[in-house]
Chain A
Amino acid sequence: MDSVFLAVKDLFTLNMLIIALSGTVLGMVWGAMPALSTTMAMALLVGLTIKMSTYEAIMFLMAIMTSSVFGGSITAVLINIPGTPASIPTAIEGYPLTQKGEGGLALGTAIVASFFGNWIGIIAVIIFIPLIMAIALKFGAWELFLLAFWGIVICGTLVGSEKPVKGWISGWIGLLIAMIGVDPIHGVHRFTFDLPVLIDGIGNIPIIIGLFGLAEILKALASPPLVMETRPVGRIIPPFSMMKKHWGVTLRSGFIGLIIGALPAAGPNIASFLAYIFAKQGAKGEEKEKFGKGAYSGLIASEVANNACIGGDLLPTITLGIPGSAGMAILLGALNLHAIRVGPALEMHHPGLIQFFFISLIVANMLMYAVALVIIKPGVKLFTMKKEILMPVILPLCAIGAFGINQSVFELYVMLGMGLLGWALYEMRYPLAPMILGVILGPMADENLRKAIMIFQGQEATVLTVLSRPIGTLMLIVIALTFYKGLFGKKSR
């Protein structure tokens, strides 16, 4: 109870409310703009959190994440161009409704569905975080190494679904980048090339901004312009009967979103598609006929799932330090800036912080709902701004974010290098999310592997002793199965 009080105490300040509101507005506008993604929003705006307190930074980033996931559906419904990939199913069902003159109602349904989706995530976070943390406290160095390693492997398998080996390669490159700097156990200089700037390693934020900000800018500038046409919005608030009619789809999609979100780096994109497919398969009679022509159940499934995913994403991020999505990897990067190391011992080291995560999700959800209702109609012109205008405007933001942390020109060049690498890898069909996971989880994997080996050597352990650790052995089996699925499993999208 004391922890909850600590968390709430910091919430009701004017600063915090302004930060929450600006995060919500920025996130929604960002998510709505077709060339900008949730991850990009977080990557570029993370620079703003440098001078904020830890709680303010969490509030700001959670508000951005929550509202930008919904923001993606605004342009998906109104102009048939999804703001984020997770909103593609929303566009498939939402735009035909706009063509029928029900655009406002479709958007209103999307807002309410997102609101419910977020609540499903919030409830799951409140229930499961203490449970997972209790289990995670039993993890030793060996289990922590296996967990970090599995996080990268599963991420590579999921996002590189057609060619998991490309996902793994991306993750492995990230792991190698994470090895740059002084080794924490023996103090050996690794890949520093006698350069003082490399002694502390490469900061996560310039890498994140390069991979998810600059690379996106290069991609957008090098692709042909989009044609955007707007239509009138009309009535927004949906009748209560609408959600009541689709409660089954809502619950099922929320559950899908949670499960997918909890898998490392399998974020809202996969969740919304999966929930949409399930909704389509589960639809009967007249509703089934409507799919592809404007089915509210398809729209609700997609929106509930991609918002419930946020809660799911938070579960492994807070309890184990394994980011549930690329956005969560950025949140971890921001927390590192504030010297916060998440994981099973978080409550011991930072009392009240976990509860603040819950509360920030609730506040972000409420604000998302309110801001969405207010800005949708007047904001349509802004949401449809051309990328040819946006990209030159965003580039200085990348520079500010990368430079601002340490006022280092070197980090500006790191961002540039990572942007070029990210762009090249994208063109060669390599996913980028595993790389950022590799960068974030690399030190954890390296340190814990060596600690585990030293412990095993001290105990004169045999292979059998190592295999007698149930959690570790279970994780070894899961890793082997993940590799097996990636190499020989049925390739499906």
Chain B
Amino acid sequence: MAIIEELKEKTEQETEETPAADFFMGIVLMVLSGIVCTVAWSWPRPSGIASSAGLFPFLIAFSLFIMALSIFIHSFKRKGYRRFVALFGVTHLRESWTHGNLRLCLFSLMTVLVYLVVILNLLPFEIGTFLFMTAALYLYWKTKLYRILIVSVCVVAFYSISFKVLFKLVLPGVGM
């Protein structure tokens, strides 16, 4: 049955080893926790170390360092560094691009960034959201333009009326 296959696949995906990611995260977290430990230690201690503002962040960062180290060692034993380097190899990148995984990821990332960082900083909510939705639906939905325009207009009108008029909320965008 399709659903069971899907479930199996999901479970396998969740439980699969991720040495390359663990290698990367191990390093990032060790650096981050090291910085936090140093900064937290330097904060003022008006009534001793035991009740200082840095105590809890220090303890958390210190234990995070140990956990990150365990993940790093675990990934190192499974050749995480090699797999991590291989991720940036031409062969892997070309394969990901051909299969569409990388393209889909970059595409979705761009969609979100363009809307939140560019459009809402340049245009009022209604105009910006209408343009974004029309473009995004055109790219993802791939249907007739008049249907896309109808959906975009209806959604923008619904958001604008319900949030601005009914809920009296200020919407993001220029001229808010």
Q: Which residues of A contact B (CB under 8 A)?
A: 47-48, 50-51, 80-82, 88, 91-92, 95-96, 162, 165-166, 168-169, 172-173, 175-176, 179, 183, 185-186, 188, 190-191, 214, 217-218, 221-224, 292, 386, 388-389, 391-393, 395-397, 399-400, 403-404, 407, 409, 412-413, 415-416, 419-420, 427-430, 445-446, 449-450, 453-454, 457, 493
Q: Which of B18, B48, B109 makes the CB contact (< 8 A) with A428?
A: B18
- Interface of B: prevailing SS: helix
24 interchain pairs (CB within 8 A)?
A80-B2, A162-B15, A165-B70, A165-B71, A169-B29, A169-B68, A175-B56, A188-B54, A217-B108, A218-B109, A222-B107, A392-B111, A395-B115, A399-B116, A416-B112, A416-B116, A420-B109, A428-B18, A428-B22, A428-B24, A429-B14, A446-B57, A450-B52, A457-B48
A78 → B minimal CB distance (Å): 12
A457 x B137 contact (CB < 8 A): no
- Interface of A: prevailing SS: helix
Q: Which of B14, B51, B115, B168 makes the CB contact (< 8 A) with A399?
A: B115
Measured in the bound complex, the distance between the Cα atoms of B24 and A224 in whole Å is 26
Q: Which of A50, A162, A218, A453 makes the CB contact (< 8 A) with B112?
A: A218
Measured in the bound complex, the distance between the Cα atoms of B141 and A82 in whole Å is 22
Interface size on B, residues (CB 8 A): 74
Measured in the bound complex, the distance between the Cα atoms of B24 and A153 in whole Å is 23
Name the residue on B nearest A456 (C-beta).
B50
B53 x A428 contact (CB < 8 A): no
Q: Which of B11, B22, B117, B159 makes the CB contact (< 8 A) with A493?
A: B11
Q: Which of A179, A186, A221, A415 makes the CB contact (< 8 A) with B44?
A: A186
A492 → B minimal CB distance (Å): 11
Say whether B85 faces chain A, with CB atoms less than 8 Å apart.
Answer: no
Q: Which of B63, B117, B125, B176 makes the CB contact (< 8 A) with A407?
A: B176
Q: Which of A91, A172, A188, A428 makes the CB contact (< 8 A) with B67?
A: A172
B167 x A50 contact (CB < 8 A): yes
Measured in the bound complex, the distance between the Cα atoms of B136 and A92 in whole Å is 34
In the complex, which residues of chain A have a beta carbon less than 8 angstroms from the beta carbon of B63? 172
Q: Which of B4, B40, B137, B169 makes the CB contact (< 8 A) with A392?
A: B137
Measured in the bound complex, the distance between the Cα atoms of B129 and A391 in whole Å is 13
Name the residue on A nearest B103 (C-beta).
A222
Given A47-B169, A223-B104, A407-B176, CB of A493 within 8 Å of CB of B57: no
Measured in the bound complex, the distance between the Cα atoms of B56 and A191 in whole Å is 13
Q: How many A-B residue pairs have CB under 8 A?
A: 191
Q: Which of B14, B53, B176 makes the CB contact (< 8 A) with A183?
A: B53
A392 x B132 contact (CB < 8 A): yes
In the complex, which residues of chain A have a beta carbon less than 8 angstroms from the beta carbon of B168? 51
Q: Top 4 A-B pairs ranked by shortest CB distance? A: A221-B108, A392-B136, A188-B53, A428-B21
Given A91-B3, A172-B64, CB of A450 within 8 Å of CB of B43: no
Given A185-B51, A389-B137, A453-B50, CB of A88 within 8 Å of CB of B3: yes
Measured in the bound complex, the distance between the Cα atoms of B63 and A175 in whole Å is 12
In the complex, which residues of chain B have a beta carbon less than 8 angstroms from the beta carbon of A191? 36, 39, 57
A95 x B57 contact (CB < 8 A): no
Name the residue on A nearest B172 (C-beta).
A403
Q: Which of A47, A81, A217, A449 makes the CB contact (< 8 A) with B55?
A: A449
A95 x B3 contact (CB < 8 A): yes
